[in-house]
Structure 1
Amino acid sequence: MIEILIIEDNPYKRDKIVNLLKSELSVNITLASSFTSGWQKLIKNIYHFVCLDMSLPTFDQDEINGGGDFRAFGGKELARKIKRRKISSKYVVITQYKNFSDENSSSTFDLLKKEMKSEYADNCLDVIFYSNKQNEWMSQLLNLIKDHSIENTSS
């Protein structure tokens, strides 16, 4: 059974990812919907694979709390923390945005993909563009997880 953590705040996108993975793979899925809850799960548990959104709220949202500051580069911040803590989980960033910006910087999908795969090459397997209208992301994600799982069982 593959242990997967999905850090995603958009319920529709999260459900699409969960349903895809459960229908195609033997997986145990844990969910987090913010930067903070995702980080807490990463440091307390071991996951074979993480599906990571790039833009995340700081905290989980509910009827009382709005989620705190929005982190346009929250996934990149988590990648930095994963690298610093030497967490072994492999991950893929799945984003539906083509452009990212906050008060300090901006980036495009292509530039961010290049940066993530270069700077975090040990853990970041890819950056995938998610679309409600196209299914290419599905095969990309499944292939990455399957390829990574085969590598893990053969080593």
Structure 2
Amino acid sequence: MRILIIEDAEEKLSDLIEWAESRFSNPHIITAKSLHTGKSAALDPSIDLLLLDMTMRNYERTPEEDGGRPHAFAGREILRRMNRERVSTPVIVVTQFDRFGDEDDFKTLADLKAELVERFPNYLGTVHYRANVDDWRVLLDYMTGDLE
């Protein structure tokens, strides 16, 4: 099982890696930590599952660079690119937020889920991640029940 995790928050990334290692036998885990690197990584046709953050920085953070501004709909951009390139890897969005965007382009988590279901056939669903509550793990287990 080849799993791509696109996530810029270190604690959440670590938790998702830990979950994948406990859920699948010998998973090969690839990570990307920004919109820019995620767009390229998501086009790999050998990926079996993509765990995708919705809001992330444009570029990888380094000691010299802050990664640019957070992009509220970065995950949606990655899904659009996958759709355009006809990449059908199953995708689960894993987000800490329940509101996205600003006054001009605001969406609730429910609004975003409805849009993703309608537009992207490879979208399996969304998991609301909270570091202090483990229900996200149970939901990920359920959503990946047919995979492996």
Give secondary structure in 1 for the equivalent of 2:60: coil
Alpha-carbon distance in structure 1 between the residues aligned to 2:65 and 2:142: 37
Task: Provide the residue aligned with 1:153 in structure 2.
Answer: none
Query: What is the identity, as a one-letter code, of the residue corresponding to 1:12?
Result: E
Distance 2:103 2:70 in 1: 11
Q: Separation in 2 of the partners of 1:68 and 1:130?
A: 23
RMSD of equivalent CA atoms: 1.4
Distance in 1 (CA, whole Å) between partners of 2:60 and 2:102 is 20
Query: How far apart are 1:133 and its partner, in Å?
Result: 2.2
1:13 paired residue number: 12
User: How far is the alpha carbon of 1:45 from its aligned partner?
Assistant: 5.2
Matches within 5 A, 1:77-92: 77-92=77-92
Separation of aligned partners in 1, 2:44 and 2:110 = 32
Report how many aligned residue pairs link the two structures.
147
Q: Are the equivalent residues in 1 in contact too, given 2:100–2:107 (CA < 8 A)?
A: yes
Partner in structure 1 of residue 23 of structure 2: 24
Task: Return the letter of the residue paired with 2:12.
Answer: K
Higher helix share: 1
Question: Partners in 2 of 1:4 and 1:53 — Cα distance?
Answer: 14
1:7-86 map, 5 Å: 7-26=6-25, 27-44=27-44, 46-86=46-86
Q: Deviations over 1:5-55 (max 9, x none)?
A: 000000000101101110221211001000111112123452010000000
1:111 is displaced (CA, Å) by: 0.9
1:131 match: 130
Contact 2:45 2:89 survives alignment (8 Å): no
Distance between the aligned counterparts of 1:102 and 1:69, measured in 2?
13
Q: Which runs of 5+ in 2 are unaligned?
A: none
Q: Is the 8 A contact 1:96 1:130 kept in 2?
A: yes
Q: 1:148 to 1:25 in 2, by over 3 A?
A: closer
TM-score normalised by L of structure 2: 0.93
1:118 aligned residue:
118
Q: 2 CA distance for matches of 1:40 and 1:46?
A: 13
Percent identity (aligned): 28
Amino acid in the other structure paired with 1:41: A
Contact 1:94 1:127 in 2 (8 A): yes
Aligned residue for 2:146, secondary structure, equals helix
Letter in 2 for 1:91: V
Are 1:7 and 1:33, in contact at CA under 8 Å, matched by a contact in 2?
Answer: yes
